[in-house]
């Protein structure tokens, strides 16, 4: 695929865009009301668009002081491997460099096989020693 030009902007996607992108990457649709509330409660959003069509997004959630969580860094499969995810992470890292103070924790859950992508930005896997492994619960 040829190199594409996209616009990266610090703006919240709509709930419908968010849900549609989730479906495209195989994460499944989400209730639009839940999606809207979740997006509104996020600390930071970044989107990537071509001709006003959402092709990627990322956000940061957390308490905004001690704990930050990188969430939903996702790129439309038609535009993966073209630098979109990296552009989104650069904006997220810029936000965190300004907002997260020394002593804060920034975490994320990587999709399987994407760990090296996040390692480029200083994230490391938790092997279980000495902090224990990360855990999650799906409801």
Residue 48 is assigned to a structural domain of this protein: yes
- Whole-number Å distance between alpha carbons of 120 and 115: 9
Neighbours of 51 (CB within 10 A): 8
pLDDT in tens, 105-116: 999 999 888 999
**β-strands 53-62, 7-9 pairing:** unpaired
Q: Please say if the pLDDT value at position 138 is more than 80.
A: no
Peptide linkage before 130 cis (omega within 30 of 0): yes
The domain containing residue 75 runs over which residues? 7-119
The closest alpha carbon to 95, from 8, 27, 18, belongs to 8
The whole model's pTM is what? 0.91
pLDDT (0 to 100) of residue 3: 67
CATH number where 77 lies: 3.40.630.30
Joined together, the tokens standing for residue 107 give 């975490």
Residue 93 is assigned to a structural domain of this protein: yes
The phi-psi region of residue 14 (left if phi > 0; otherwise alpha if psi is between -120 and 50; otherwise beta) is: beta
Number of domains, the chain = 1
């Amino acid at each position: 695929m040829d190199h594409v030009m996209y616009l990266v902007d610090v703006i919240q996607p709509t709930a419908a865009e968010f849900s549609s992108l989730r479906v495209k990457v195989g994460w499944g649709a989400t209730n639009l009301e839940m999606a809207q509330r979740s997006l509104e409660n996020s600390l930071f959003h970044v989107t990537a668009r071509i001709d006003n069509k959402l092709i990627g997004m990322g956000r940061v959630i957390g308490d905004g002081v001690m704990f930050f969580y990188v969430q939903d860094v996702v790129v439309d499969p038609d535009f993966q491997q073209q630098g979109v995810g990296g552009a989104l992470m650069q904006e997220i890292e810029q936000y965190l460099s300004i907002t997260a103070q020394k002593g804060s924790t920034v975490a994320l859950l990587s999709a399987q096989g994407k760990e090296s992508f996040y390692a480029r930005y200083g994230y490391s896997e938790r092997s279980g020693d000495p902090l224990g492994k990360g855990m999650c619960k799906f409801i």
